[in-house]
A and B are shown apart, each in its own frame.
Chain A
């Protein structure tokens, strides 16, 4: 994987998408095989230090309910021991980036925000310490379709602005096609296919075909022409 690229892990529930993601930041340890990050085997890196350099966004936000929005965004810089002023400035910059005014939202608590706003905060938090890699676990799955669409647009913007490398778990084919530079189709814990979004329409493997059948007929045939 390179900077600016997004690897989408696509598969049905229980196919091992989330497991694969959690192996990357060592929330789980592999029984076999190895993962390399910037040329280094992650098993040789301290798990805590590793996680502080990998952004992580999950569907249920996972914001700390007793902290303000600004404190939540400053979490990793705080763990890394940045000076307070630098933490604040970074948090405000990122809130601005994800479309939340720091003046209006900075001092609010997560429960005072809508789902879309919370997910923006979670994305800002993941970006706070300039991570080399971002992990997204169905981040927009709980949002309404319009908010989800906005967030996907914002994801692409942030990706090109910060030249981010990311791994993105989803079971939504449209999302995979819209965001992925590569799409890995997972099935029963195994990699079934690795395709670019354009190649996906000509996929021959069973799960990829099954996903294509979820699209409206005109849409898929329209793309194939």
Chain B
């Protein structure tokens, strides 16, 4: 095979892998902020919990390709480009993080919470010293699911011009070029495996604390 073709392809892989990591990193970061924040608010106010979980549930049931499609015609937040891709990835990652945050905090042993409150902790102290540390394994597990799923879903972002490794795959599919398909699919799979292993190590480190 022509070495210049290989060289261009490798260059594309490196660049698109970088884009992919940015897509996933930014969307996961935002999803963690929103998901954990809403989750905490949800444990304080039942209305927030009901509305946010229902909304996140509904969003999760929309097929990812369709979610990208829905956002396309919406002015300001929608349209072609990276920001639309990031928005839909955020929406798509919310549920596992939100739900695990709530489950983790609500799952704190009642006597532990009662004693902490009875000893004179403020609500902030209860959250910072008791609830978040004890919910950390559950929250991390949620982030892990969101992150790994997100790496796969981000491939489809190429459809709406979001960039990332999906570009190579779609290009390869369109031109029936197996090499290009693999050049997109293999790095995406490796990214997912690395992310999963990294999160698993983090979970173990937290559990050992």
Contact = CB atoms under 8 A, between A and B. Distances in A.
B121 A79 contact: yes
Chain A interface residue count: which class?
Answer: 20 to 34
A56 B112 CA distance: 12
Given A60-B111, A64-B112, A27 B130 contact: no
A66 B121 CA distance: 16
Nearest to B115: A62
Highest count of chain A CB atoms <10 Å: which of B111, B116, B133, B134: B111
B77 interface: no
Contacts of B117: 27, 51
Interface in A4-54: 25, 27, 48-52
A65 B130 CA distance: 9
B120 A48 contact: yes
B119 A51 contact: yes
Contacts of B130: 64
Contact of A79 (B115, B120, B209): B120
Given A58-B111, A63-B112, A51 B122 contact: no
Contacts of A49: 120
Given A27-B118, A48-B120, A51-B120, A62 B111 contact: yes
Interface residues of B, number: 18
Interface string A125-154: 100000000010000000000000000000
Contacts of B134: 65-66
Nearest to A72: B115
A56 B118 contact: yes
Contacts of B2: none
Contact of A63 (B115, B120, B125): B115
A62 B116 contact: yes
A56 B120 CA distance: 10
Nearest to A60: B111
A191 B52 CA distance: 46
Interface in A49-84: 49-52, 56, 58-66, 75-76, 79
Contact of B114 (A50, A58, A75, A76): A58
A125 B119 contact: yes
Nearest to B110: A60
Interface of B: 109, 111-112, 114-122, 125, 129-130, 133-134, 209
Interface of A: 25, 27, 48-52, 56, 58-66, 75-76, 79, 122, 125, 135
Given A62-B112, A62-B118, 17 more contacts: A27-B114, A27-B118, A50-B120, A51-B118, A51-B120, A52-B119, A56-B115, A56-B118, A58-B114, A58-B118, A60-B109, A61-B111, A64-B112, A64-B115, A64-B130, A65-B109, A66-B209
7 contacts: A50-B120, A51-B117, A62-B111, A62-B115, A63-B115, A64-B129, A65-B134
